[in-house]
A = this chain, B = another copy of it.
Amino acid sequence: METDDRPRYAQIADELGRRIDAGIIGVGLPFPSDAQLQEEFSVARNTVRQALDVLRAQGRIHTVKGRGSYVRPRVPARRVAASRYKADVSSTPDRPQTAVTHDYGIPFSQHNPDVVIARESASPEVAELFQVEAGTPLVRRDLVFRLEGWPTHMSTSFYLAEMVDGTWVAGPGSEPAPGGAIGHLASLGVRVTRVLETVESRMPSPREAEVLRMSAGPVLAITRRMLADGRVVEVAREIVYPGDGVRLEYEVDL
């Protein structure tokens, strides 16, 4: 038995973490309330709350005001850049697939993102990524991806209205789509040959925290540009994952 002179809140956080690991407190099940934990560990409520702050920062629990806390599932994706987009390219009617089904190793039938599509003028920021004038008409697509009901990640992406207007890609029936964004563009005769990705780590916005059901941990945010013939034909700004929800893999040839 080792002496434990660490702060009480850290000990409690560890103990609760162990219970989650052991499955004593299950994924999606209600977490003990502040009052219960206060009672069990014989500490003040602030000490309980400090312990839960640790678990929240680790992304292990999610807390909703007035309702309680829940254990967050860990759904780690391996997002291998070199092969995920090739999955898009090689999707066939017989074996439909997308980069996302590739990341999670799931069948296409389990791929049913929520989607909201709207027209929008290019903000200066998106315009620069697209290398077009600010104000250029775009089609904006907000997606939320889920696995067994739990959100895995979300994205906001844009096509040039000029390119997709009047096609199925501009409608809500464009998801789920075999071949993903690359499939969309291919159906319009545009062949994507290059993808540029920028990765950042930051704290989530309130909306991101709500949608992704995370209370305090960091997110990984990817800004993506797809190019065809040297021209930018799709911009995703941004694709947002819970910090512990993905491992990105890239290769660089010299």
Q: Give A residues with C-beta under 8 Å from B.
A: 46, 57-58, 81-82, 85-86, 89, 182, 192-203, 216-220, 243-244, 246-254
Known: A217-B218, A218-B218, A243-B218. Is A250-B201 also a contact (CB below 8 A)?
no
Are A252 and B197 closer than 8 Å at their CB atoms?
yes
Q: How far is the CB of A166 from chain B (nearest CB, A)?
A: 27
Set of chain B residues within 8 Å of A195, measured between Cβ atoms: 251-252, 254
Bound state CA distance, A4 and B239, in angstroms? Answer: 31
Contact (Cβ within 8 A) B216 A201:
no
Max chain B C-beta neighbours (<10 A), residue from A81, A195, A247, A252: A252
Partner pick for A197 among B216, B219, B249, CB 8 A cutoff:
B249
Q: B residues within 8 A CB of A198?
A: 247-250
A86 near B201 (CB under 8 angstroms)? no
| A58–B200 CA distance with the chains assembled, in angstroms | 13
Determine the chain B residues whose CB is within 8 A of the CB of A218 once the complex forms.
Answer: 201-203, 217-218, 243
A76: nearest chain-B partner, CB-CB: B200
Q: Which 4 A-B pairs have the closest CB atoms?
A: A218-B218, A201-B243, A199-B248, A201-B201
Contact B197 A250, beta carbon cutoff 8 Å: yes
A-B contact pairs, 10 of them (CB 8 A): A58-B203, A85-B252, A192-B254, A194-B254, A197-B251, A198-B250, A201-B219, A201-B220, A217-B218, A250-B250
Q: How far is the CA of A195 from the CA of B252 in the complex (A)?
A: 5
Please name the residue on chain B nearest to A84 by beta carbon.
B252
Q: How far does the alpha carbon of A3 sit from the alpha carbon of B105 in the complex, in Å? A: 49
Residues of B within 8 Å of A89, CB to CB, are 254
Q: Is the CB of A85 within 8 A of B197?
A: no
